């Protein structure tokens, strides 16, 4: 590979820690809740990993926060091939809704800007499109690639930064994505999936296959999320029987943890985070700040790995931030069927020290009395 185009969705993932489960049409609300941009730092991390291996690459980028800034921070001198109107117009910081954009705000970049940048990359014959965002950004990139002439299929690779990451086109971590971009020598077809954010916020996953695209092949590319799960009744009943008094429980999203909550008499928020202690729900569908406001030690975080990916933290539960993790013990729960499809566990908290502290062997509760050892990598 000699040339690469990089495009960043500047506010991808902002809705995660503040409990919005995405930023479709929710940019202002995310900011009102104190959300901080996540994608720019992850873009720099990926591009630094790339630069350590391929400092000689010709790199094309969209202007400002859509790629140029991260490329320069990583040591590249990119050729800017597209400038969104919000950057050209008044210099205000651009951003793009995670997954689909609100075109009504002229200070925000849009899905159209992402697509225009990718078209500019293709005009210059790039060998790879590296994008930073979530599933919706992946859909935007894939749409342009599928529109292009079929004689030359340009591969794409994602740096995970969104809340929703159901597609198999992303590196497991930003560093993995940078390494893969530098070293790959073949590609294979992978799925781009997206889900309805409004339905997601109501606790319903409505996934749709949106495209099949060429993606670099490497061990650090994640698989698609599996949407099914086995029975966890025995696991839930066993856990509920053993809850400790005067202990704060932080229940992560998902049906497995939801079954435990139901066994405790809690009406779970299926895709949110609930905090419970001594029979009382202290926070429901909570943001990071709401969790920290009621978190008293001793505390236990209860999470289940994402099926098919194995992520314990960093996919769909950004509200359980490093600050929360550092104040609690961790209990991982999953059915044997789910673990059979995972093989190993992963973490991606945006804090390398916290990630490192979580790596190693971990007991996963699989039933009323049974556990399995899995390695966090």
The domain spans of the chain are: 3-216, 233-376
pLDDT reading at 30 higher than 60: no
Scanning the chain, the segments in alpha helix (DSSP H) are 14-17, 27-32, 39-53, 68-73, 85-90, 111-123, 135-147, 174-183, 197-201, 233-241, 255-263, 288-294, 322-325, 336-340, 352-358
Contacts of 55 (CB under 8 A, 6+ apart): 75, 76
CATH of domain 3-216: 3.40.50.10330
Angle, vertex CA 95, rays to CA 22 and CA 124, nearest 5: 110
Q: Would the pTM of this model clear 0.75, i.e. be above it?
A: no
% of the chain beyond a pLDDT of 70: 79
Mean pLDDT check: name the lowest of 76-85, 106-115, 127-136, 227-236. 227-236
pLDDT band at residue 10 using 50, 70 and 90 as cut-offs: confident
The label of the residue with tokens 């000689």 reads 56
Distances (CA, A) of 235 to 199, 282, 344, 346: 28, 24, 20, 22
Assess contact for 127 and 153: CB atoms under 8 A: no
pLDDT band at residue 342 using 50, 70 and 90 as cut-offs: confident
Burial (CB < 10 A; 0-12, 13-18, 19+), residue 152, is exposed
């Amino acid at each position: 590979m000699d040339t690469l185009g990089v495009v960043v969705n500047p506010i991808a993932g902002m809705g995660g820690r503040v409990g919005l489960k995405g930023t479709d049409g929710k940019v202002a609300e995310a900011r009102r809740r104190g959300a901080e941009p996540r994608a720019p730092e992850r873009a720099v991390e990926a591009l630094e990993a790339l630069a350590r291996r391929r400092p000689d690459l010709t790199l094309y980028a969209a202007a400002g926060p859509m790629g140029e800034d991260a490329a320069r921070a990583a040591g590249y001198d990119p050729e800017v091939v597209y400038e969104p109107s919000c950057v050209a117009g008044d210099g205000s910081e651009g951003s793009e809704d995670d997954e689909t954009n609100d075109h009504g705000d002229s200070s925000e970049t849009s899905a159209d800007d992402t697509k225009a940048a990718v078209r500019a990359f293709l005009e210059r014959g790039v060998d790879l499109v590296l994008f930073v965002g979530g599933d919706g950004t992946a859909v935007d990139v894939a749409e342009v690639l599928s529109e292009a002439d079929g004689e030359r299929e340009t591969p794409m690779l994602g740096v995970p930064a969104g809340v929703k990451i159901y597609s198999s086109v992303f590196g497991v971590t930003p560093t993995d994505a940078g390494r893969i971009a530098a070293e790959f020598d073949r590609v294979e077809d992978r799925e781009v999936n997206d889900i309805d954010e409004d339905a997601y916020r109501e606790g319903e996953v409505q996934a749709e296959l949106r495209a099949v695209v060429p993606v670099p092949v490497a061990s650090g590319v994640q698989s698609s999320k599996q949407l099914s799960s086995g029975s966890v009744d025995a696991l839930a009943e066993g856990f509920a029987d053993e809850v400790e008094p005067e202990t704060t429980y932080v229940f992560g999203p998902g049906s497995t943890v939801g079954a435990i909550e139901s066994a405790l008499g809690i009406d779970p928020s299926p895709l949110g985070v609930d905090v419970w202690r001594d029979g009382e729900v202290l926070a429901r569908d909570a943001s990071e700040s709401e969790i920290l406001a009621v978190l008293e030690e001793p505390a236990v975080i209860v999470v289940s790995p994402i099926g098919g990916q194995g992520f314990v933290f960093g996919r769909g539960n950004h509200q359980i931030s490093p600050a929360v993790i550092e104040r609690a013990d961790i209990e991982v729960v999953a059915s044997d069927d789910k673990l059979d499809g995972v093989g190993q566990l992963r973490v991606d908290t945006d804090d390398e020290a916290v990630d490192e502290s979580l790596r190693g062997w971990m007991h996963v509760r699989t039933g009323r009395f049974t556990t399995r050892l899995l390695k966090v990598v």
